[in-house]
Amino acid sequence: MLTPRRIVMAARLGFALAALGMAVLMLGPFQGLEQVFGLNDKAAHVIAFYGVASGLFLIAPSQRRDDLALYVIAAAFGIELLQALTGRSVSIVDFLAGAAGVTAAWAPGRIEQLRQSFRRHPDLTLTEIDRLDRRLRRRRASTGPSPVGAILRP
């Protein structure tokens, strides 16, 4: 029987294999291989990190997308640093292309969250909608009241 748990488990296996393959391609002596597929280096980075971010969103449904996106951006930075150790070129533009791929995967989910908030609370201000966001309640409670807010209040 196909259940969400089984789909996630199968996706995790596929993700692990794809991530391993991507690491070998990015760190191995395969520079220029993307041209066989008609891509330039930057487009390959965008597509690869879009796929990684999308896959990570699928295999970690209980984690926040914002955090996962930051992890993948950090991985893009780490890949660029590791490429220096393997004799390949290091490029900030490649890193930015990877970050653009992550953003392309992250943005639709964030936009849909905003649209849902706007549909549910069309007459509230953005600050009031933000206060209603249940995802932020735990963080606000753990940080406690702001000392700056206490000083500024009459």
Quick: pLDDT tens for 88-127: 778 899 999 999 999 999 999 999 998 999 999 999 898 8
Q: 3-state SS string over the chain?
A: CCCHHHHHHHHHHHHHHHHHHHHHHHHCCCCCHHHHHCCCHHHHHHHHHHHHHHHHHHHCCCCCHHHHHHHHHHHHHHHHHHHHHCCCCCCHHHHHHHHHHHHHHHHHHHHHHHHHHHHHCCCCCHHHHHHHCHHHHHHHHHHCCCHHHHHHCC
Structural domain tally of the chain? 1
Residue 64 has pLDDT above 60, yes or no: yes
pLDDT number for residue 108? 96
pLDDT number for residue 59? 94
Percent of the chain with pLDDT over 90: 45
Domain boundaries, position 80:
4-152
Q: What is the pLDDT of residues 17-44, one digit of tens each?
A: 988 888 887 777 777 777 777 788 889 8
